[in-house]
Amino acid sequence: MEKNKNVFKKGFTFKQYTAPEQSPFDKLFDIFQEIITHTSGDLDEALDWLDQLDKEYKLTTDEYTMDDFIEDLKKKGYIREEIKPDGKGGGMAITAKTERAIRQRALDQIFGRLKRSGSGNHKTKYTGQGDEHAGEFRNYQYGDALERISMTESLRNAQINHGMADFNLTEDDLVVEETQYKAQMSTVLMIDISHSMILYGEDRITPAKKVAMALAELITTRYPKDTLDILVFGNDAWPIAIKDLPYLQVGPYHTNTVAGLQLAMDMLRRKRNTNKQIFMITDGKPSCLKLSDGQYYKNSNGLDQHIVGKCYMMAQQARKLHIPITTFMIAQDPYLMQFVRKFTQANQGKAFYTGLKGLGEMIFEDYESNRKKRIKG
């Protein structure tokens, strides 16, 4: 018997990776977005860096020059000319369109390409007058909204109860479909901008900015019912807008963790959501307090017990308000880890001792984990 000659074998075929085709503008724009984040939104400095990279790695060609790229940035609305109050030109600056592009890029880099979904996916076990269908039914009760009545199930009840010959729909036939609440999360992200965030030749502020931008983009696109407030803390603490993140810079500051926590809790007190949390990104020990007379008490030598005692007290206050604090410590000094452990114990929160690598993934996983928890009454 002749064997079948057309035998198809299963297996894998390996080929050399070919990068997706990109236009000259897209290639340069990808690099430009990375650089503009590092230069804190300084366009002139970013273009100087790009020019240096072009000379070293031949990023442009005779057909598409750096001047062509800058002209395209203008045409596409990524940069604009600034006008001074006297009516004269004040140079070029990035636009809101670039700020959005940088946030989306940070989200893609850190969290992967997440698909945009509907509003607030924070599901809980509670059912009632929520905003997502649960597939369960109950008898109609006085006060239920008419749009929540399931007509298909109600008509079926009427047919069973009264028959087709004497069809009649009564209140006893009406059923309402249960809906599930989607938990809403209010998050405050605290970013340390003390001088240590750029000490020892390590840029720690840029990864922190990227995480903040990615988290902001994640929440506004995937969980639009959630809220995210961002604050920075050095000698003092103050809120910043999401649009200002690319321009964030480190200052000549000590670390006033207490001021940051006070502001974060003030922000969360105003939120009506039940689920509240604080994320804190820091690399140093608390070293500063603002006294009642307006003076600053500073001590950079070791762990000052007066300062850390105030931090523990703030952690306990947050615990009483049911606000967990998750600390991302970008340092692994044993005495700092000891402080973070005691701080976390006082709050009953969580702590991650991490370098810069994987910081974004850790924050994303923790955010996703926290949002799944049951709402407290």
User: pLDDT for 123-138, tens place per residue?
Assistant: 333 333 444 444 567 7
The answer on pLDDT for 290 being more than 90 is: yes
CA distance linking residue 250 with residue 197, whole number of Å: 7
Instruction: Give the residues across from 325 on adjacent strands.
Output: 278
CB 307 within 8 A of CB 331: no
Question: What does the block give as tokens for 337?
Answer: 């880890």
The CB density around residue 26, as the number of other CB atoms within 10 Å, is 10
CA distance linking residue 275 with residue 374, whole number of Å: 9
The answer on pLDDT for 166 being more than 70 is: yes
Instruction: Report the side by side order of strands in the sheet with 132-139.
Output: 122-128, 175-183, 132-139
What pLDDT was estimated at residue 163? Answer: 75
What pLDDT was estimated at residue 239? Answer: 98
Q: Which helix (H) or strand (E) holds 305?
A: helix 305-320
Question: What does the block give as tokens for 50?
Answer: 């790009």
**Core vs surface per residue 293-318: b (16+ CB within 10 A) or e:** eeeeeebeeebbeebbebbeebbeeb
Residues in the chain: 377
Q: What share of the chain has pLDDT > 70, as a percent? A: 81
Q: What share of the chain has pLDDT > 90, as a percent? A: 49
The number of helices, as runs of H, and strands, as runs of E, in the chain is 10, 13
The answer on pLDDT for 337 being more than 80 is: yes
Question: What does the block give as tokens for 269?
Answer: 């007190």
- Sign, CA dihedral 264-301-290-196, equals negative
CB 127 within 8 A of CB 134: yes
What pLDDT was estimated at residue 143? Answer: 62
CA distance linking residue 115 with residue 117, whole number of Å: 6
CA distance linking residue 304 with residue 83, whole number of Å: 48
The CB density around residue 21, as the number of other CB atoms within 10 Å, is 6
**Residue range 298-312: mean pLDDT, rounded:** 94
CA distance linking residue 133 with residue 267, whole number of Å: 32
Query: CA separation (Å) from 185 to 70, 120, 278?
Result: 41, 9, 11
Highest mean pLDDT among 33-42, 200-209, 357-366 belongs to 33-42
Look up residue 238 and give its amino acid. Answer: W
